[in-house]
Copies of this chain bind each other. A is one copy, B any other.
Amino acid sequence: MALSEALKRKAVQLAKLTVRMTAEAGSGHPSSALSLAHVVTALMYRQMRYDPADPWHPTCDRLVLSEGHAVPIVYAALADLSATVGKDRASALRLTPGHLDRLRCLDSVLDGHPNPAEGVPFFDAATGSLGQGLSVAAGLALAARLDRSDRRIYVLIGDGESREGQVWEALDFIVDCRLTNVCAVFNANGEGQAGKVSPQQHPERLLAKLRAFGWRAIEVDGHDPAALLRAFRKVSRTDRPLAVVARTVKGWGVEPLQRGNWHGRPLTEAELAEADLSLEKIAAGLAPGGKLGRPPQPPPAATAQRVDPRGVSWPSFDEAMAAAGLSSQLEKGRLATRRGYGVALKVAGDLLPQVVVLDGDVSNSTFSEIFARAHPDRFFECKIAEQNMVSTAAGLAAAGFIPFVNSFAKFISRALDQVEMANISRANLKLVGSHSGISPAADGPSQMGLLDVAFFRGLTTVRADNRREPLCWLFHPADAVAAYHCTRLMVEHRGLCYMRTHRPDTPILYPADTSFRPGGFHVLAGGDDLAIVTWGYAVHAAKEAVNFLSRQKLRAALIDAYSLPLDESELVETLHRAGGRVLVVEDNFGGGLGAAVAEVAARSGNLRVEILHCQRIPKSARNAEELLDYCGIGPAQIADHALALLRRPG
Contact = CB atoms under 8 A, between A and B. Distances in A.
B160 A361 contact: yes
Given A165-B164, A620-B104, A451 B459 contact: yes
Interface string A436-450: 000000111111001
Nearest to A597: B602
Contact of A423 (B131, B212, B617, B621): B617
Contact of A595 (B212, B598, B613): B598
A129 interface: yes
A598 to B, nearest CB: 4
A413 B424 contact: no
Given A168-B168, A590-B461, A365 B193 contact: yes
A288 interface: no
Interface stretch (A336-344, A383-391, A509-517): A383-391
Contacts of A126: 445-446
Contacts of A597: 602
A130 B160 contact: no
Nearest to A414: B417
A105 interface: yes
Interface residues of A, number: 127
A617 B462 contact: yes
A142 to B, nearest CB: 16
A581 to B, nearest CB: 9
A167 interface: yes
A599 B611 contact: yes
A479 interface: no
A61 interface: no
A372 to B, nearest CB: 9
Contacts of A615: 462-463
For A369, A388, A590, A592, the residue with the greatest tally of chain B CB atoms inside 10 Å of its CB is A590
Interface string A156-173: 000011011111110010
A494 interface: no
A647 interface: no
B458 A590 contact: yes
Interface stretch (A34-42, A203-211, A302-310): A203-211
Contacts of A602: 582, 597-599, 601-602, 607-609
Contacts of A194: 359, 361-365, 369, 381
A26 interface: yes
A201 to B, nearest CB: 8
For A108, A451, A588, the residue with the greatest tally of chain B CB atoms inside 10 Å of its CB is A451
B169 A112 contact: no
A145 interface: no
A165 B458 contact: no
Given A106-B620, A126-B445, A166 B163 contact: no
Interface string A181-197: 00000000000111101
B630 A106 contact: yes
Contacts of A381: 194-195
A198 B128 CA distance: 30
Nearest to A71: B444
A507 interface: no
A193 B619 contact: no
Interface in A614-650: 614-617, 619-622, 626-627, 630, 650
Interface string A332-370: 000000000000000000000000000101111100010
Interface in A474-520: none
Nearest to A384: B163
A1 to B, nearest CB: 36
Contacts of A607: 602, 605
A211 B424 CA distance: 38
A421 interface: yes
Contacts of A454: 454-455, 457-458, 591
B212 A211 contact: yes
Interface in A458-472: 458-463, 465, 471
27 contacts: A26-B442, A28-B442, A112-B443, A112-B444, A115-B446, A128-B444, A165-B388, A168-B168, A172-B200, A176-B200, A193-B362, A197-B383, A209-B209, A413-B417, A451-B458, A462-B589, A462-B613, A462-B614, A463-B615, A465-B616, A465-B617, A582-B602, A595-B595, A595-B599, A602-B602, A603-B611, A605-B606
